[in-house]
Structure 1
Amino acid sequence: MSRVTLKTVAQAAGVSPSTVSNAYNKPDQLSAALRERILAKAQELGYAGPDASARALRSGKVGAVGVLFTDKLAYAFSDPYAVGFLAGLAEVAEEFATSLLLVPLSPTDIQGGTNAVQQAAIDAAAIFCVAAGHPALDVLKNRGIPMVSTDRGDHPDLSWVAIDETAAAAELGRHLARLGHRDLVVLLDNAQAAGSRPVELSLDEVGYTDCELRVRGLQKAMPDARIRLVSGGHNAFSSGLAAAEWVLDSQDRPTAIVGLSDVLALGAMEAMKTRGLVPGRDLTLAGFDDIPAAGTVGLTTVSQPIKDKGRTVGRMLLDPAFTERQITMPTELKVRASSGPAPRN
């Protein structure tokens, strides 16, 4: 049986090919009766409609926004922060009949990620948790793909929806300083597998802009404190657990631990629990983001509007009426039971 095409339907319905095309793409240009007759004939012949790729070539649009992030694909569905951000972005994408294409960038296979971005059929890109200077960003720029990042940038041509990471972390730092803390361990993520052997890092080894700015904010607010950076792998509960176990089992235990995400802090809370330590009494614990679980367990954390950030990125990418290009979202320190005065030696 020969392939049924738009021209086949036009001949069978006794109309021109452009009229059949209008029945699918410009229904307001046809009477309801004529459109229904054409669609009925198309269904009878088994015609599914105009070819999507051909339509994309004509319009120059594919109807998709790429979401770039540096992690495995499963991260987008398992990390509470990522889930909230994507939910907000998806709301706006749905409003504009646009799909989302998740583009994970492996921290070890840089070329593979760059090739994926080069080949991705997208109209725009949301840059979510991608290290500054990743070559995939240059690919997008060379392709002329509009981008909106969740990291702030200094150049006036950059588009971003972000928080003031330094100021938010400094507010947390001042809270810890008022409680008398002068010895702090910061848990952060790196490119290693979740739950990897913990390593102590220097600030120039951090790699992610948001993490670096948060550390600088803590340093600014706590200039007299000793602040050590420890990572147990990429952003995951098991990474926070592994890093905190290593810290808590050392002879040089701090008076406070800060996870640069709530997920890491929750892992640290589990490590404390198994050692009979009570957050806020034996050792202060704080996080960052204010995911739903943070409030449930009484975690002191920096709250940011996760879902609204996703919505605003989507609006900036897709809504022609939205003209702002650089937006700083508000944050708030949520003080809960997990923070308390530094224990006296």
Structure 2
Amino acid sequence: MPRVTLQTIADRVGVSRMTVSNAFSRPDQLSPALRERILAAAQDLGYVGPDPTARALAKGTTGAVGILLTDSLRYAFTDLVAGGFLAAIAGELAPTGLAITLLTSAAAGDVVPARDVAIDGAVVYSCDPTSPAVSWLRRRNLPMVFVDQDQVDDVASVNIADRAGARAAAQHLIDLGHRRFAIAMNGENGRHGFITDPSTLIEGHASHQRRLGWSDVLEPAGVKPAFLRHPLEKTEDVRRDARVLLAAEDRPTAFLCFSDTTAVGVRQAAEDLRLRVPEDLSIVGFDDGPDAVRMQPALTTVRQDVVAKGQAAAAALTEAIRRSRGGPAGPVPHIMLPTELVIRDSSGPAPRTPV
């Protein structure tokens, strides 16, 4: 089938190519009757509209924003908390007409998404601080928002009170009498498995802040926890290593977990060893996502509002894009959202007798 162009339509209607172009991009320049004739001819000829690439070059915009992830793109579709965050961004951006492009920080051959994909701005979401992808976005001078990242003065940011939430979780278990702890940390890159000195790790913002919050409570109490570290999606690896700790003679009576997903792996390890939760082992997660209420018993966890976080990120990004196009300047926003300890049935008093 021959390609239908603006000139094809112009020839059919008997007008100039510019008149046809105006029918799509500047309708106020035409009478309603003429525009209707042009659009009817376009539909009859099967014209799909102006070429998006050409239109983007002419306008200097792409109509899309990127969301940069350290993890594989599969994570965005399988992790329920990340999914809720992305859905909130999509909902907030819907009235603006901006599309979302997911960017992985990994290169694919000669293609570096953060360098090569055309976007009007970007949300950097919980990325490895050593990732070169963040540097590429900065070098492109794109409007950006950092989410779950260390704060930078000239980039808008949205974070949650990770440290305060972790502190509340640890204090809850200390108040219940627990003194033998294990901590299941998150980490995509670097060492995995049993960690003897977590302070030597290169950590993401959330991992670092939560570890500091747990330490704020455990160190003054004289507690030296055991540490595990695995990527979020490696639940089976968490299960395997937690089982080793829980089978030991001096096993922990309390487990603090980076996320609810991590807590699922710990709960499975307890089931493998026929340990009762919370009578033999208390477990506390983080996020209060769908896994928290599905787990049996229901999971004590730290709640973050991922919908509010996504909405705040989208609003900050659209504002940054507006400013980049000559809108009024103002202070760069740095938003901190609260967290809340939600006590359910997976945490209870420390066992009274030696275990």
TM-score under structure 1 normalisation?
Answer: 0.90
Q: Give the corresponding residue for 1:88.
A: 88
Q: Give the corresponding residue for 1:266.
A: 264
Q: Give the corresponding residue for 1:6.
A: 6
Between Structure 1 and Structure 2, how many residues are aligned?
340
Name the CA distance, whole Å, in 1 between partners of 2:68 and 2:203: 16
Aligned-partner residue type, residue 287 of structure 1:
G
Would you say the 8 A contact 1:290–1:302 is kept in 2? yes
1:208 aligns with 2:216: no
Would you say the 8 A contact 1:187–1:243 is kept in 2? no
Would you say the 8 A contact 1:181–1:342 is kept in 2? yes
1:236–1:22 CA distance, 2 compared to 1 (3 A): farther
Aligned-partner residue type, residue 34 of structure 2:
L
Aligned-partner residue type, residue 211 of structure 1:
S
Would you say the 8 A contact 1:190–1:235 is kept in 2? no
Say which SS state the counterpart of residue 230 (structure 1) adopts. strand
Aligned-partner residue type, residue 212 of structure 1:
H
Q: CA deviation at 1:93?
A: 2.3
Render the CA deviation track for 1:309-339: whole Å, top value 9, x for unaligned.
1121111112449976211112110011111
User: What are the ranges of 5 or more consecutive residues in structure 1 without an aligned counterpart?
Assistant: none
1:31–1:250 CA distance, 2 compared to 1 (3 A): farther
Render the CA deviation track for 1:260-305: whole Å, top value 9, x for unaligned.
0100001211221232222221111010000022023310100000
Render the CA deviation track for 1:139-168: whole Å, top value 9, x for unaligned.
111111111111253432121111121111
- Deviation >4 Å, runs of 4+: 111-114, 319-324
Aligned-partner residue type, residue 249 of structure 1:
A
* RMSD (Å) for aligned C-alpha atoms: 2.5
Would you say the 8 A contact 2:66–2:122 is kept in 1? yes
Q: Give the corresponding residue for 2:163.
A: 166
Q: How does 1:1-345 map to 2 (within 5 A)?
A: 3-106=3-106, 115-191=112-188, 198-203=193-198, 204-223=200-219, 224-297=222-295, 298-319=298-319, 320=322, 325-344=333-352, 345=354
User: What are the ranges of 5 or more consecutive residues in structure 2 without an aligned counterpart?
Assistant: none
Say which SS state the counterpart of residue 270 (structure 2) adopts. helix
Aligned-partner residue type, residue 65 of structure 1:
V
Say which SS state the counterpart of residue 225 (structure 2) adopts. strand
1:252–1:94 CA distance, 2 compared to 1 (3 A): same
Would you say the 8 A contact 2:278–2:347 is kept in 1? yes
- % identical equivalent positions: 38
Name the CA distance, whole Å, in 1 between partners of 2:238 and 2:230: 6
1:34–1:236 CA distance, 2 compared to 1 (3 A): farther
Name the CA distance, whole Å, in 1 between partners of 2:110 and 2:289: 29
Say which SS state the counterpart of residue 226 (structure 1) adopts. coil
Name the CA distance, whole Å, in 2 between partners of 1:251 and 1:105: 43
1:252–1:235 CA distance, 2 compared to 1 (3 A): farther
Would you say the 8 A contact 1:198–1:242 is kept in 2? no
Name the CA distance, whole Å, in 2 between partners of 1:237 and 1:125: 30
Q: CA deviation at 1:206?
A: 5.0
Q: CA deviation at 1:201?
A: 4.8
Aligned-partner residue type, residue 31 of structure 1:
S
Q: CA deviation at 1:29?
A: 4.1
1:229–1:46 CA distance, 2 compared to 1 (3 A): same
Name the CA distance, whole Å, in 2 between partners of 1:130 and 1:154: 13
Q: CA deviation at 1:113?
A: 9.7
Render the CA deviation track for 1:71-98: whole Å, top value 9, x for unaligned.
1221111001111111101112222111
Render the CA deviation track for 1:221-262: whole Å, top value 9, x for unaligned.
222211222024443432432232232123341111111010
